[in-house]
Amino acid sequence: MRLLVTGGAGFIGVNFIRYVLAETEDVHVTNLDALTYAGNLESLRDLADDPRYRFVQGDVRDAELVVELVSNSDAVVNFAAETHVDRSVDGPATFLETNVVGAGVVFEACRRAEVDRVLHISTDEVYGSIEEPDSFTEDDALRPNSPYSAAKAGADLLARSYGVTYDYPIIVTRTANNFGPYQFPEKVIPLFVTNLLDGRRVPLYGDGSNVRDWTYVVDNAAAQWLALTGGRAGEVYNVGAGNELSNKQLTYALLERLELDEDMIEFVADRPGHDQRYSVDTTRIRELGWAPATTFDAALDATIRWYRENEWWWRPLQAAGASRRRGTVRR
């Protein structure tokens, strides 16, 4: 299989590429990534000489480039997206351009090239918030509450339209919160872990009661590969491990493992439009044969260990982020 992965230098894309190359022998991966602030080739530097791996720097909005790469692919997985909710609140335009326009360029190139299998990676945030004890199914309405999730919902609907209008079915997965190695340190778990390793307090939004379902990224990579290779064309699959924790519970789990106390928590003003709870019904993907292979506790331990042992990877990103913040006037 000739597999094109867009956004493969980002967190989940990196782990997906690593999973595919480790679990297969006949898949050749081309990784298209624009290398924005969150794309990091250092995450894949050990694969640079792998004959089954190729990197191409470019933007998914570049139709000419995307058409060229798609025309030489048997399957396409679209990870390319802006993903940080806080950044979407500060500036939605980039999210609309990459997450909607970029996805549209990929979908159209795939349709014209008649690519056999196309998988678009979305998020559980497109559904909005849900009260306990309910969980969203794939047939529930999309009610996004942030510019990020609205942009992702727009791409989901565009994927659906390709099935209806052109009879060109695109598989969509809506994933819960991921964590694990190679995650950019603006996201909550790597941000909190690296802050705590440096003896700095962690900023917890509001009262910390917001609930998320946490999935180890390696388990998620396995789910994405299964959806691509074994899923029904045009189907939507929710992916989540069922590890629901409030942000405060997650913070205490990190503090306990690092032998620190609650004095390290700094409660900060909540962000606008902050969804209270995400929860998805994963019956459909589990019926394909997927289940998380790693417990939450084991995965969190492994993640903390990875950040302890790989300062070479995250410290330059942390320093670059601090430099950007010093040079930015926030309004």
Told to judge if 125 belongs to the known catalytic residues of this protein, a careful annotator would answer: yes
Residue 324 confidence (pLDDT): 58
Query: Could you give the angle at which helices 247-257 and 188-197 cross, rounded to 10 degrees?
Result: 30
* CATH architecture designation of domain 2-180+216-243+274-293: 3-Layer(aba) Sandwich (3.40)
What percent of the chain lies above the pLDDT cut of 90? 91
Rounded to whole angstroms, the Cα distance separating 120 from 103 reads 8
Q: What is the DSSP string of 271-287?
A: PTT--SB--B--HHHHH
Rounded to whole angstroms, the Cα distance separating 323 from 331 reads 18
Domain borders along the chain are 2-180+216-243+274-293
pTM, two decimals, is 0.95
What mean pLDDT is predicted for residues 263-277? 96
Rounded to whole angstroms, the Cα distance separating 154 from 157 reads 5
Catalytic pick from 124, 138, 213, 275? Answer: 124
Are 143 and 127 a contacting pair, CB within 8 Å?
Answer: yes
Model confidence band, residue 329 (pLDDT cutoffs 50, 70, 90): very low
Rounded to whole angstroms, the Cα distance separating 324 from 18 reads 30
3-class secondary-structure state, position 265: strand
Chain centre to alpha carbon of residue 244: 17
Give residue-wise pLDDT tens across range 102-120: 999 999 999 999 999 999 9
Told to judge if 37 belongs to the known catalytic residues of this protein, a careful annotator would answer: no
Q: Report whether pLDDT(330) > 50.
A: no
Q: Report whether pLDDT(295) > 50.
A: yes
Give residue-wise pLDDT tens across range 128-173: 999 999 999 999 999 999 999 999 999 999 999 999 999 999 999 9
Rounded to whole angstroms, the Cα distance separating 211 from 132 reads 10
Told to judge if 50 belongs to the known catalytic residues of this protein, a careful annotator would answer: no
Site of tokens 């289940």: 291
Catalytic pick from 108, 125, 156, 275? Answer: 125
Residue 57 confidence (pLDDT): 98
Catalytic pick from 53, 127, 148, 307? Answer: 148
